[in-house]
Amino acid sequence: MKHIITLTLSPVVDKSTTVDKIIADQKLICIEPRFEAGGGGINVSRGLKRLNLTSLAIFPSGGLTGQHLQDLLRAEHINQMPVLTEKMTRENFIVINREVHEEYRFGMPAVELLPKEEREILSVIKKLLPKPKFMVVSGGMPPGLSADFLAKVARIAQQNEARLIVDTSGDALKYAVEEGVYLLKPNQAELSKLTGIDIKDISAVEAAAQQIIGKGKCQIIVVSLGAQGAYVATRGFSEYVEAPQVEKRSTVGAGDSMVAGMVYACEKGMDIRQTIRMGIACGSAATMNPGPELFNKADAEKLFQQMMNKMK
């Protein structure tokens, strides 16, 4: 039974490699490239797999790159339901400069979704059986998508009595909140845009988060503060939690890893204080690995236990 589905509207194949140094106008010799499935919801599914939770990844897929993406997910034993599209799935490129330990990320434009493809995605979600317990929408919204697409997804979630978890940006975030979500994960800039509050410190974060909670359209809000940790709020409870100190190698996939950790905690019935710490632990563990690599389960569990011990 698939209790959890993830929806990725702008999936990607991440191609990464390493060079000894980067010099302009010279041929640079790269090591053999590494390919990984990417995109917000897909990374959440991959993270959940590392935590021994099964999910179903739904995403648009087009052309040879889309087929490659499906093959990569099969290799990781990720359950998937691709929606075939006319345009080819994008590929991102990541180069690590070994000389100075710098990472360069080249992100290709999001692929446009056609109206008929949008309708097909909504149809797939509506017809899911058994109905999911959690629906996770994570990642950017591609061009061509209706402005109120996430409102439509939110209504489907409500009809299915599924808990909707959203991690995106822009107008799509606004439409989702207006319709109602279970858990929202904005960063400071996104939270400021949602509420109109100029956010410069934790007190402003708290005011903005409580504004959204007070409207009754969101049960849990988690504000990502990057290396500083996160702020979590529900009705009647709020807490700022610092991130553990780790040796950072890459931030790629850290936000998605954080979402995976929180979904895992919710599925396991953890309380809110455990949930935010599990999310931060997975996100922090992801930064310990190079390139688009996600977290290692052992690292995440160790960091989670450290954070829990600090509460005692």
Q: What are phi and psi of 13, to 5 degrees?
A: -100, 120
Six token digits for residue 55: 């999910």
Say which range, 60-64, 134-138, 215-219, has the weakest mean pLDDT. Answer: 215-219
Longest dimension (CA), the chain: 59
Query: Which residue, 77, 129, 79, 135, is CA-closest to 266?
Result: 135
Q: Is the pLDDT of residue 94 over 80?
A: yes
pLDDT in tens, 212-258: 998 888 999 999 888 788 999 999 899 999 999 998 887 878 999 99
pLDDT in tens, 4-39: 999 999 999 999 999 999 999 999 999 999 999 999
Average pLDDT over residues 204-210: 91
For each of the domains in the chain, give its residue range(s) and CATH number, in order of start.
4-10+39-91+113-311 (3.40.1190.20)
- Contact between residue 125 and residue 164 where contact means Cβ atoms under 8 Å apart: no
Order the strands of the 34-38 sheet from edge to edge.
34-38, 12-19, 90-97, 102-106
Q: What confidence score (pLDDT) does residue 226 get? A: 80
Nearest to 69 by CA among 20, 11, 113: 11
Find the mean pLDDT for residues 50-64: 97
First to last CA, the chain: 36
Q: How confident is the model at residue 311 (pLDDT cuts 50, 70, 90)?
A: confident
For the full predicted model, state whether its pTM sits above 0.85. Answer: yes
Are the CB atoms for 15 and 33 separated by under 8 Å?
Answer: yes
User: Annotated active-site positions, please?
Assistant: 256
Rounded CA-CA distance 186/98 in Å is 33
Tally helices (H) and strands (E) across the chain.
10, 13
Q: How many CB atoms lie within 10 A of CB 58?
A: 25
Q: What is the pLDDT of residue 1?
A: 42
What's the pLDDT score for residue 291? 65
pLDDT tens figures, 146-188: 999 999 999 999 999 999 999 998 888 889 989 999 999 998 9
In the predicted structure, residue 306 carries a pLDDT above the cut 70: yes
**Amino acid present at 283:** G
Rounded mean pLDDT of the chain? 93
Residue 27 DSSP one-character state: P
b vs e for 155-172, b when ≥16 Cβ sit within 10 Å of the residue's Cβ?
A: bbbeebebbbbbbbbeeb
Q: Reply yes or no on whether the pLDDT at 264 is more than 90.
A: yes
Give me the mean pLDDT over the 196-224 stretch.
91
Q: What is the pLDDT of residues 32-54, one digit of tens each?
A: 999 999 999 999 999 999 999 99
3-state secondary structure 98-160: CCCCEEEEECCCCCCCCHHHHHHHHHHHHCCCCCCCEEEEECCCCCCCCCCHHHHHHHHHHHC
CA-to-CA distance for 87 and 68, rounded, in angstroms? 14
- Please calculate the CA angle 46-114-45 and round it to the nearest 5 degrees: 5
What mean pLDDT do residues 268-272 have? 96
pLDDT, position 2:
57
Q: Which residue in 241, 78, 261 sits closest to 165, CA to CA? A: 261
Q: Which of 241-245, 262-266, 289-293 has the highest mean predicted lDDT (pLDDT)?
A: 262-266
pLDDT at 112 over 60: yes
Percent of the chain having pLDDT more than 90?
A: 77
Per-residue confidence (pLDDT) for residue 110, from 0 to 100: 95
Q: Which of 229, 245, 225 is nearest to 306 (CA)?
A: 245
Nearby residues of 23 by Cβ (< 8 Å), 6 or more positions away? none
